[in-house]
């Protein structure tokens, strides 16, 4: 099911909204930026973000300006999609991405790359460790060690506390309830092994990692750890960039678009175009 929607940027390509059912029967909302090209890049948002955050919208504009179509969508439990928000759900989000990719491949689109920011970066790497239908994967500021960063959100001794209560409620800056972390969703995150996932990515799959040197949420060291484990890997550090590339949106867009262009050149050479 599709409907046209107005773009946030008058100069950009037509957009259509699609509703795609995932494996759990939940409706995922996706937006296709249609350039006329059947080559498609799928963009995946991060933790507690949506398909409408600045980083995703800016990448959509940059990629479509090179005549590649783009799909951005909300994972289940996020944004406009159905489902319950969970702290974990990494493998579930992998399946959401798979549902989106299959939906558009049935419409004769060829996914030339999947791109994820932050938690979405982990999701696209995990995706590549399980599925062989994404040949180019771009990880923007993904986390390598998922045991890190939890104390910043849940406070110290979170494991003991969650064992006693079964959950921890997280408040926002204003002291309002933000989301609940259940023991199951915490374990879901702690049981993700990015080391094993990186090692099981097919050598033919091209991985590109971009990370900001001044990332305050996920340290840049995580990017180097990922780079060490994946043979078919390129790494690009954006000097001075924070986790959301606040002052480096154009740099990020340029780096991503240049990489996609270089991949296209390689692919054309192989297929003799």
Q: Which residues pair with 32 in a beta bridge?
A: 16, 71
Write phi, then psi, for 43 (nearest 5 degrees): -105, 135
Report which of residues 74 and 272 the model is more confident about. Answer: 74
pLDDT bucket at 147, cuts 50 / 70 / 90: very high
pLDDT bucket at 8, cuts 50 / 70 / 90: very low
Query: Would you say residue 195 has pLDDT above 80?
Result: yes
Q: What pLDDT does 1 receive?
A: 53
Q: Which residues pair with 237 in a beta bridge?
A: 211
Q: What's the whole-model pTM score?
A: 0.94
Classify burial at 66, counting beta carbons within 10 Å of its beta carbon; exposed 0-12, middle 13-18, buried 19 or more: middle
Query: Would you say residue 6 has pLDDT above 50?
Result: no
Compute the mean pLDDT over every residue in the chain, rounded to the nearest whole number.
Answer: 94
Cα(198)–Cα(254) distance, rounded to whole angstroms?
26
Q: For 30-83, write each residue's pLDDT tens digit.
A: 999 999 999 999 999 999 999 999 999 999 999 999 999 999 999 999 999 999
């Amino acid at each position: 099911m599709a409907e046209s929607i107005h773009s946030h940027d008058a100069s950009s390509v037509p957009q259509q909204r699609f509703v795609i059912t995932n494996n759990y029967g939940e409706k995922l909302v996706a937006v296709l930026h249609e350039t006329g090209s059947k080559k498609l890049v799928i963009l995946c948002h991060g933790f507690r973000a949506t398909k409408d955050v600045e980083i995703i919208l800016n990448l959509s504009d940059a990629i479509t300006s090179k005549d590649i179509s783009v799909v951005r969508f909300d994972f289940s439990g996020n944004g406009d999609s159905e489902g319950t928000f969970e702290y974990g759900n990494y493998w579930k989000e992998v399946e959401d991405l798979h549902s989106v990719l299959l939906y558009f491949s049935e419409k004769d689109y060829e996914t030339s790359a999947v791109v994820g920011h932050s938690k979405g970066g982990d999701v696209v790497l995990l995706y590549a460790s399980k599925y062989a239908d994404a040949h180019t994967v771009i990880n923007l500021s993904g986390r390598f060690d998922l045991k890190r960063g939890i104390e910043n959100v849940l406070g110290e001794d979170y494991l003991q506390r969650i064992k006693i209560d079964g959950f921890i409620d997280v408040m926002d800056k204003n002291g309002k309830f933000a989301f609940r972390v259940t023991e199951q969703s915490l374990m879901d995150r702690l049981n993700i092994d990015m080391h094993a996932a990186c090692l099981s990515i097919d050598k033919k799959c091209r991985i590109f990692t971009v990370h900001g040197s001044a990332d305050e949420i996920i340290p840049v060291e995580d990017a180097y750890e990922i780079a060490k484990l994946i043979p078919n890997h390129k790494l690009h550090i954006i000097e001075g960039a924070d986790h959301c590339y606040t002052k480096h949106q154009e740099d990020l867009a340029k780096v991503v678009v240049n990489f996609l262009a270089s991949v296209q050149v390689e692919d054309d050479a192989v297929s003799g175009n």
